[in-house]
Structure formats: C-alpha cells, structure tokens
Structure 1
Amino acid sequence: MIQEPVRHGDTPASEDQYDSVADCDVKVTVRDVKESEKELPHNESHAMLPGEQKPLQTKRYRRRFAVLAIFSLYSLVNAFQWIQYSIITNIFMQFYGVTSVIIDGLSVVYMVAYIPLIFPATWLLDRKGLRVTALLGAGLNCAGAWLKCASAGPGLFWVTMSAQVVCSVAQVFILGLPSRIASVWFGPKEVSTACATAVLGNQLGVAIGFLLPPVLVPNTPEDKEQMGHNISIMFYGTAAVSTLLFILTIFVIQDRPPLPPSKAQAVLPTGLAEDYSYKQSIINLFRSKPFILLLLSYGIMTGSFYSVSTLLNQMIIFYYEGEELNAGRIGLTLVVAGMVGSILCGLWLDHTKTYKMTTLSVYVLSFLGMLVFTFTLDLGHLLLIFFTGGALGFFMTGYLPIGFEFAVEITYPESEGTSSGLLNAFAQLFGIIFTLIQGKLTTDYTPLAGNIFLCAWIFLGIILTALIKSELKRHDVNMGNGKCQAVPTECPMEKTSNGLSRETTL
C-alpha cells in the first residue's frame, strides 16, 4: 500500500532501480481513492510497483534445460508409438491377419482422438498448468506402452488398438506444450530455438520409429512365433523407457520458474483472472483473420507430412518390392533432415524475427520438394529417393516450429497452449483427410496420383500464407514497443501476478 504521495519536488530514485522496465511505459493505478493514495508522478510510476521498493526482475534458470530435455524425450517415445506400426505395415498385416486399411487406422487414431480432446486438454493447461498436463501426457504414454506388451499375439489386434487409443490420448497432452515451455522458461533470444528443440523431440521419435521397427521386427512370414517374439521385444523396450521418463517428469517439470524469463512473460499474470473465460479466448482467436489463415496453412502442411509419413512404406514397397528396411531408412532420412531444418529455422527466427518471410519461404521450398519427390519416386534409383526425401523432410518438418512461434506472436497475449492446440487440431483434421484420400488413390491407382493430390493442396497453402498479416505482438513487448500497466498483486481481479499486465481497463 502507498502510504504517502510523492511530491513533484522530491528527488527521483536512482535509474539503476528501473533497468528491467526501462523500455516499458507503466502506469500505476490505485484502487482506493484517498488523499494519501493518489497516482504517482510519471517519473516514479515509470518504474515502481504499488507497495514495492524494487523493480520487476527477470531471470533464466538452468532448470529450463532439464524441463525441455524431459519433455522432448517423452514426446519422442509418444511419436515412436505412433509410427511403429505404419513403417512395417505388411508385417503387422500378416501377424494380426488384417488389411492395410486397418493398420493405417492405428496411425489415424492419433489424429482422430486429438480433434475432440484438444479443447478439454487446452482448458486443463490453462486451469491447472504445465506440470499437471505434462504428468498426464507422460503417464498415459507409459500406460499405453505397457498395454501394448499384452498384445503380442496373432489374435490380439483389439488389445493393440486399445493401447494405441491410450497413447493417442496422451498425445493430446503433449503436442501443444512446446510453445508454452519455450515461452515460460526461456528468454526472448532463445524462445524460438527452444520451441524448435521441443518439436524436434517429437520428430526424432518419428525418425526412430522409421529406423528401429524394421530392424527389431524383420519379416519372417514362415515363423509367426518368432515374429511375435520380436514384436514383444519392441513393445517391452518402449514400456521400460516410458516408465523411466514418467518418473523423471514427476521430479523435474514445474509450471514455471520463480521469476519470469522475459518481459513478455512478466507483463502477464501467473494465474488466471477470476473473470477469465476459456470460451472467450477461443472466440478471440477465431476472430483473428491472420490466425485463421495460419490455421488453414499449418493444417495443410502438417497434414501432408502426417500422410506422407503414414503411407511411406506403401509408396516405397509399390515401386521397390522387399525394401522394407530401406523404406524405414528413407523415413529416417526424411525426419532427421527435418530436425536439422527445425533447429536452423529456430535459430534464424531468434536472430531475425522475420516470421512471415521465413514461413512463406519454407512453404514454397516444401512445395518444390514435394514436386521433386513425387516425380522421382518411380525412377528406380533408391539413392535418389534418399536425397529427395531428405530435401522434402528438411523443409516440411522444419516448418512445424515456425508455425507454432508465428501463432504465438500474432495472438499474444492469448494462451500459447490454446493457439498451439488449435494448430494441432487442424493438422490432425487435415492429416486424417489426406491420409484416407491419398491412401485410397495409392491403392486404387499409383502413389503418383496420391502425391499430386498433396502437391495441389500445398500450393493452396502457399497462397493462404502469403495473405497473413504479420504483427509481432510478443516481440514488440520484449523490445519495449508495447504498452503495459502495473497492477497490485493483491488486486481481486487476478490471482498471483508477475507484477505487470498488458494495458487493460481496471
């Protein structure tokens, strides 16, 4: 509480006290209109909070690297469990005695589960925080992995499908977290790289999912008992790693650090306002034309990646019979190249903040990569497919963290989890549609027809991306260009606050 107004004749405090808020126009608002509690003069209110004698502080903690690492690893395992069936589709078809469409369903279920569950998942992230959401993701991932261990028998397809459903629910509590972790734990000059690293964990899981299953489960159609033994080894190994990561999640991941890492986080309350409306937050996002355009373009690009990943084995086997192992290696090349692209794009964004230019450039290059991959797939040279697949993956997968970070910039200060969740929901929706249609075209005609279908949609995505108006709201606050306002931490409108909030009417 301010006990006495500061008169204009008083000597101003030292400038050293104001370092953390020097670039931010701050106005102190006092609720009780009393003679002893009047608004501070501009030179004092520019730096000091009501009832406090020290300025806002920001700090980056070493723990942020552990939080990022643990999240990336259990996200890796979840992505591995998504693709482990698709890359050896023909083997699981023989083992369970089902069609390729049924095995494709083990991948599609990840996408189907995400769409209805993303809204309660992002609501939970806003209400309960990062830690509870992370524990749910890691815990369900572990439970699904152990349930798969009971499905290593020819007549137990329904068990493996049930386990995959559990893993798909876990994914809902995983995919929307990279931008939240990057924003609340990392500074403004490393936030895009951190987000790219978090996304990279998921992509590394896809890469390992392309590499390990063909090695661990070789095609032995004459010996189903041996096939079941090999599948069991893969399932038990996954379950053991998932359990270790769940335990580490319990001890390592927290909601946020004691002090915020950036001004953009400092001007936001650490708790929800009592009048906060999740529904209104969703409405605000859907009223943003740039965000709607990004939703559609992100869904097209990421849905195309999901479709290519799911059907890669079938495309390769169509032209190169008996090359299951090389199909996995091509998938590995595609994703590893994409991981390199993700990190490079994250570093580039942290250095330049050119979000729209980078997004549009990567989109165009992904389109060109898809064209080259499409028209070289049937030339009979596997080495060429490794190269074209790598080029496609570099740009297509490199786009994923760019989309997350661009969304956070144009929708700030709305929740990162909500914007990321909606992006992923559209990605899953387009992924389902593209996988089903491309799979049908590949089966009835050739992989060429399915790939041309994707090329047409990616070209549409380029047009949508070009129409996005780039307004970097979070970056403006970090640079001191945005307006913010100090509010008392005991203000009844909000729970615990970092001390500052964006300018609103109180």
Structure 2
Amino acid sequence: MSLNKEVKLNGLCNPSEPVSSKLLVTDDASRRGSISGSVMDGLTMDSSKAPYIVYKSRWLILTLFVLYSASNSLQWTQYAIIQDIVMKYYGVDGTVVSWTSMMYMITYVPLIFPASWLLNKTGLRVTTIIGAFGTCAGAWLKVFSVPQDMFWLGFFGQTVVAISQVFILNVPPRLAAVWFGADQVSSACSIGVFGNQLGVALGFVMPPMLVKAQGTIEEIGADFQLMFYLVAGFTSVLFVFIVLFFKAAPPSPPSAAADLGSSLDSNFLQSIKQLLTNRNYILLLISYGLNVGTFYAISTLLNQVILTYYPGAHEDAGRIGLVIVVAGMAGSVLCGLVLDKTHRFKETTLAVYAASVVGMVIFTFTLDCGLIGVVYLSSILLGFFMTGYLPVGFEFASEVTYPEPEGTTSGILNAVVQIFGIVTTLLYEWMLGAVGDRWSNLTLCALLALGAVITAGIKSDLRRQAAQNKG
C-alpha cells in the first residue's frame, strides 16, 4: 500500500477529520526505526500493519501559513521601495530608510537560535501564534506613526514585525514534513516559501500605488494612513483565524520519514553540532547565502537603481520588483514539482543556480538600454531562477541533514542568509555611490558565479530519501 495515499480505514477514519480516536493505529514500535552507526544504518520500519495517512486539513494549515508569511514579508520593503517619498515626508536620510529593510536581516541572526529551540520544543502552533501576534502588533504601531515627527514609532513597528519573521522563515520545510506525504513534501515546501514571495511582491507594488509622490504633504500623510490601516486590518483578521484553526500536527505521521523523525529525541545543541560538522551543509550555507544575499541587495535598493535611469518611474520600480518576485513564485512551484517527480536535488539546485547567474548578467546589461519594457523582461528571467531557488535550497538542506529537525536546519540556513544579505546590501549600496550600477551589478554576478561553483562541490547525499525508501 502506498505510504502517502489518502485513505479511509473501514469507514472509521475520514482524513479530513483530525480526530485521533477515530484512527486505526498500531503500536508505535511497528512503524518506527532505530538509528545506530551512520545516519541510516539499522533503520527498520514495518508499514504493513498501518498505512500512513495524509489529511485533507493539511491544505487549510498550508493556506493559513502562506497568508501569515505574506502578511509579514509584505512589510519588508514597505518603506524602502518608496524611499524618496519617505525621505521627503518624514525628513529622514536615505540610509535610515534602507535600514528599515535591513532590520529584517539584523534581528534574525541573534534570534533564530531561540526561535528554532522554541519550534522544536513547542511545535508549529505556538510559534505561529507568537509570530502572527508580533506581525499584527507591529503593523498597528505603524498606524500611529503617520505624523511627520513619528517616524521613530514606525521604525519601532518595523522592528517588531522584523523580529516576528524569525517564527516564519524556517517553518516551510518543517510544516511540509509534518503534514504532507513523501510525494508532496517538496511541493508543499515550495508553496510555503511562495507565501513569503507573495508578500514581497505585494510589498513592492502596494506602496507606490497607495502613496503618491506627486501629492502635497497632507495628501501623502493620508496615503500613508490608508496603507498602514489596510495592512493592520489584514494582519488582525489573519491572527484571529490562526488562533482558531491552525494546528501543530496531524493525529498521525503522513510518511515513513516523518514517522522516524517524530520518534527521535531531539537535542538542540547536539543538532547544531551535527549540522556545523556536515560538509555538504556548510557548502550549501555559503552558496545559498550568496544567492539570497544578492536578491536582498537588489530588492532593498531597486528604487534607487531604477530611478537612476528612469527618473519619475516610482511605480515602475515597484512593478519591476513585483515582476521579479511573481516570476520567482512560478519558478518555486515548478521546481517543487520537479523535485517531487525526479528527486534529483543536486542537479536541480545546480541548474537553477547557473541560470540565476545568466539572469543577473542579462539584467546588468539591459538596465541602461533606455527601454524600461526590456528591463521588465530581463527581470522576469532573473526572478524566475534567483527567487525560484529559495525552496530548492531549503529542500536540498533537509535532504543532506536528515534526520536533524527541519526547523533547526532551515533556521541556521536563514541566519547565514541574513548575514550575507546585510554584507551584500551594504557593499552594493556603497558601490552604487562609488563606481555606479554597472560595476556593482557585475560584482553581484561574480558572487553568484562563485556560489554556483560551490554548489557543484556538494555531494548528493539524500538521507531523507534513503529513509523513505527503506520505510
């Protein structure tokens, strides 16, 4: 019997009803493996006595997470994408506006370790509620920051939202592994990452549409008020839905790999040690950091770069950011489907990375062509592969580090990304002022090329697949 097929056991269990008393369950020992020696040695599972069930409610859980993730990430570039308007209205320096974006990166690094520990100890529901509350609270603080002398309150609200991100970015691989069967886990992870990308896309396009640069000071203030109220209202409704409907886990594991993972005692410090001595994981940390750090740099300073060649194109800057991210959404979902069908994690990762390098080169040399439509087209190519790489890296990391907790694995991965993002953004900002965008973008091309070479050195040690096959 398939390990991940939706089933009904003698009419006793409806997969859409998460009621454990209706499940036909055998002794845990009949479905759990033991690990001794190497990571997969001694693994024995007997799945003949009880099938693994995937529940229809998993789609509700995933949908709530996607919206929750989007509600946080849409605030990432909320100020930066209209940098010139924020500077004019609040009378602050451009560097200060850039820090509203980099705050997402700075707060993540020191807080991801306690957040990962909390995720491992309390599960998905508790950490999701905490993150949703913080996202909502930060959005409401911005509502009261509209007066021109209250930018500090908006910055504080942005910091609260940024802190809440630590309960989001490392969740997709964990949620996918806990709720989805073996033939859907990569697709589910890519959809989870899709939520973050959806929010980033909205964060690029909404502020330029809602806050008009041509208005008077009073009109700009009214525009800010509307934008902040819309975001605060959305996050409030979503917080209520999460409290009411979001669950930590299904009544029974959906796959052999998930069953084994849930049966293991997780020691957080031991997991950290195992991860930091895993050669393949270390290489992936570096290559993933270079790719996503480059994306962060471009996203943070996109307004400045586009206005250099196309003065007055405030809405176009937002739309180009939207195009990059929407194309990445399509790339994410497609890559997730490819991984589920082929299980060729290294090959897919390397191919997507190499294509990101090509996309960045094309974007660099079309930026000053004088036709903004061409910039839109090159942005589609860049976004499809660079942003589409995000879930691929997550899933490859889960494979080479299994059975370490996915939350810890992705948490460290994202912490390194934030460090790379801060350094790359500061470098990119300095180079834009010192040598111009051409050499700045070529430097990012070189960083991506280095990441592709490092990716080629990662061995295809697919431990989770091995556990699933033995199960």
TM-score w.r.t. length of structure 1: 0.84
In the alignment, what sits opposite 2:5? none
Matched AA of 2:97: I
- 1:268 counterpart SS class: helix
Pairwise CA distance, 1:477: 1.4
Q: Which residue of 2 aligns with 1:247?
A: 240
1:18–1:47 contact (8 Å) kept in structure 2: no
* Counterpart for residue 424 of structure 1: 414
Aligned residue in 2 for 1:197: 191
The verdict on how the C-alpha distance between 1:26 and 1:375 changes in structure 2, with shifts beyond 3 A counting, is: closer
Alpha-carbon separation, structure 1, partners of 2:208 and 2:274: 46
Instruction: State the TM-score, normalized to the length of structure 2.
Output: 0.90
**Per-residue deviation, residues 89-111 of structure 1 (Å, max 9, x unmatched):** 11001111111111000000000
1:339 to 322, 329, 334: 329
1:363 and 1:19 mapped to 2: Cα distance? 44
Within the candidate set 191, 214, 218, 1:220 is matched to: 214
Partner of 1:400: 390
Determine the structure 2 residue equivalent to 1:290: 280
Q: 1:27: how far off?
A: 7.9
TM-fit CA distance, 1:87:
1.0
Picking from 435, 444, 447, the partner of 2:434 is: 444
> CA–CA distance in 1 between the matches of 2:443 and 2:158?
28
Cα distance in 1 for residues equivalent to 2:439 and 2:222: 38
Mapped contact 2:66–2:192 kept (Cα < 8 A)? yes
* Structure 1 residues 46 and 354, CA gap change in structure 2 (3 angstroms): closer
| Runs of 4+ displaced beyond 3 Å | 17-21, 23-28, 45-48
Aligned residue among 218, 222, 231 for 1:229:
222
Cα root mean square deviation, aligned: 2.3
* 1:502 counterpart residue number: none
Match of 2:154 in 1: 160
Give CA deviations for 1:420-465 in whole Å, capped at 9, x if unaligned: 0011111111110111110111123311122112111111101110
Query: What is the SS of the residue equivalent to 1:144?
Result: helix
> Secondary structure in 2 aligned to 1:471?
coil
Structure 2 counterparts to residues 466-485 of structure 1, below 5 A:
466-480=456-470
- 1:256 pairs, out of 249, 252, 258, with 249
CA distance in 2 between counterparts of 1:284 and 1:241 reads 40
- 1:368 is aligned to 358
Counterpart check, 1:145 vs 2:135 = no
Unaligned runs of 5+ in 2: 1-23, 36-43
1:336 maps to a residue whose letter is V
The amino acid across from 1:199 in the alignment is V
One-letter amino acid of the counterpart of residue 368, structure 1: V
> 8 Å contact 2:31–2:259 — kept in the other structure?
no
Structure 2 CA distance for aligned equivalents of residues 94 and 156 of structure 1: 14
- The C-alpha deviation readout for 1:314-371, integer Å capped at 9, x for no partner, is 1000110000011111111111100000000000000000000000000000001001
1:386-440 superposed Cα distances (whole Å, 9 cap, x missing partner): 0001100000011000000000011000000000001111111111011111011
Alignment match, 1:113: 107
Q: Which residue identity lines up with residue 380 of structure 1 in the other structure? A: G
Identity %: 46
CA distance in 2, matches of 1:246, 1:89: 29
Q: CA deviation at 1:46?
A: 7.3
Partner residue of 1:464?
454
- Which residue number corresponds to residue 80 of structure 1? 74
Q: Deviations over 1:246-265 (max 9, x none)?
A: 11111222111001110101
CA distance in 2, matches of 1:136, 1:19: 35
SS of equivalent to 1:62: coil
Counterparts in 2 of 1:210 and 1:477: CA distance versus 1, 3 Å: same
Q: Is the 8 A contact 1:20 1:55 kept in 2?
A: no
Q: 1:18 to 1:98 in 2, by over 3 A?
A: closer
* Letter of the 1:442 counterpart: L
**Contact 2:32 2:260 survives alignment (8 Å):** no
Correspondence for 1:33: none
The one of 94, 103, 116 aligned to 2:88: 94
| Secondary structure of 1:244 counterpart | helix
Matched with 1:415 is: 405
| Pairing 1:124-143 to 2, within 5 Å after superposition | 124-143=118-137
- Aligned partners of 1:57 and 1:260 also within 8 Å: no
| 2: CA distance, partners of 1:444 / 1:27 | 58
Alignment partner of 1:380: what SS?
Answer: coil
Question: 349, 352, 359: which is aligned to 1:359?
Answer: 349
Q: Distance in 1 between matches of 2:151 and 2:107?
A: 19
Deviations 1:212-268 (CA, angstroms, capped at 9, x unpaired)? 1111001036x1111011001000100000011111111222111001110101123
Contact kept in structure 1, 2:32 and 2:259, CA below 8 Å: no
State the distance in 2 between where 1:327 and 1:69 align: 29
Answering whether residue 112 of structure 2 is matched by residue 122 of structure 1, we say no
Larger radius of gyration: 1
> 2: distance between equivalents of 1:24 and 1:345?
31
